[in-house]
Amino acid sequence: MTARLLLASALSSALLAVPSASSAQGRNLDTASPDGKVFAGELAAETAPAIFRLSLPARQGIELEALPVGSSDPQIKVFEGDSRTPLAENDDRPGTVAARVRLWSETAKSVRVEVSSSPSGPELAPGARFRLVVLPTDYRPVAPQAIAPGATLAGELEAGDERLFHFQGEAGQVWVFALAAPEPSPLDPVLDVFAGRTATGEVLGNDDDGGGDLDARLRFRVPRTGPYTLRATSAGNSGAYQLSATIQDAAAAPAPNPVLELDRAQAGTFSDEAPERLYRLSPAARARFAQGGSLTIRMTPAADSEVDPLVEAGFETPLGFSAAARDDDGGGALAARLVIDLTGVDAAWLERLRIRASSVGSDFGAYEITISQD
């Protein structure tokens, strides 16, 4: 029986006999049948996650999927034993708010599964429900590959699967990764970068369609020297891919963090060598916002420019820029407009506030960006 049929069978049987949400919290999932089983659970807003325990057999693939019930938006994290370092985690798999992870190990081990509310989902009242599906699969992970500057790697990627690539970055380097679907591949490539040698924790860089059409192009400035992991996935169909990596000439990279003054438009230009720009607030602007108020960011394409503005606001962290909000066409037509309430944000965080400007797709050209206080 295929995994898909097993899943359908498990879901239909769940309607007849699903354990109560209260018994599911902290439940030992080893009671699941060999053909898979569905467990009910509850998500608590801003409290501890629902916890499950599971024995992972040696050389047996297991798939865990948290299915939302109603307006819930679950995420999954899996840990070995009582470790706090995730073995695997997922928020939204492509096309849905359901979360799914696949597990496989050479040796038997005990894992802890935590299901909680997605930080990107709606605010939920305690008691929001989910269903956790446990399913055996024939999944086998593909060993991570090393990728070096100038290299081009090719392969096949199944929808819902991933490929991992390791690279060693030096602080200040700018890596450019391009993940393309060669004709006639229907793949919709997505790229993510993580610190360390696993695809867990904070996403330091992400791109979906920045390479034009459905291709991904990710420009990543290395925040500190060390190992990094690049993850390739598909937002849609399965298909062939080609991945290339280059290091951008530091002299060609834009000067970091130019200053934005209140109510003073600043012009810029995107190019293949400089496809984005990271801004910070001027001292005068920070002093104004220390008194409260909302920051409005407007970004418009220049006349005859092909730029489709995308503006993001976030903070500088030890691992680089971390976006908290973004806007594409909120200013009408192709213009971007993003409003952020900075009331209560202290001086230290205002100092670390950053605004990233870029263009959707691969079209480059001139633009203007302006900030104001409302």
| Sheet of 216-221, strand order | 152-157, 239-248, 174-180, 216-221
**Segments making up each domain of the chain, as ranges:** 3-137, 145-251, 254-373
Average pLDDT, the chain: 82
CATH hierarchy code of domain 3-137? 2.60.120.380
pLDDT in tens, 87-112: 888 887 666 788 888 888 889 999 99
In this model, does residue 1 exceed pLDDT 60? no
pLDDT in tens, 304-363: 888 889 999 988 876 667 788 889 888 888 899 999 999 988 888 899 899 999 888 767
Give the model's pLDDT for residue 4: 33
| Sheet of 27-28, strand order | 27-28, 50-56, 109-117, 74-80, 86-90
Model confidence at 367, pLDDT cuts 50, 70, 90, reads very high
Q: Copy the structure tokens of residue 252.
A: 């060609």
CA dihedral of residues 49, 53, 58, 60 (deg, nearest 10):
-70
The class of domain 145-251 in CATH terms is mainly beta
Q: Copy the structure tokens of residue 110.
A: 């005990």
Using CA atoms, how far apart are residues 216 and 293, in angstroms rounded to an integer? Answer: 36
Domain 254-373 has CATH 3.40.190.10: no
- Mapped onto helix, strand or coil, the DSSP state of residue 132 is strand
CB of 230 closer than 8 Å to CB of 165: yes
Using CA atoms, how far apart are residues 123 and 48, in angstroms rounded to an integer? Answer: 15
CA atoms within 13 A on the CB side of 109: 18
Note whether 3-137 and 254-373 share their fold: yes
- How many of the other CB atoms lie within 10 Å of CB of 154? 11
Using CA atoms, how far apart are residues 288 and 367, in angstroms rounded to an integer? Answer: 26
CB of 354 closer than 8 Å to CB of 279: yes
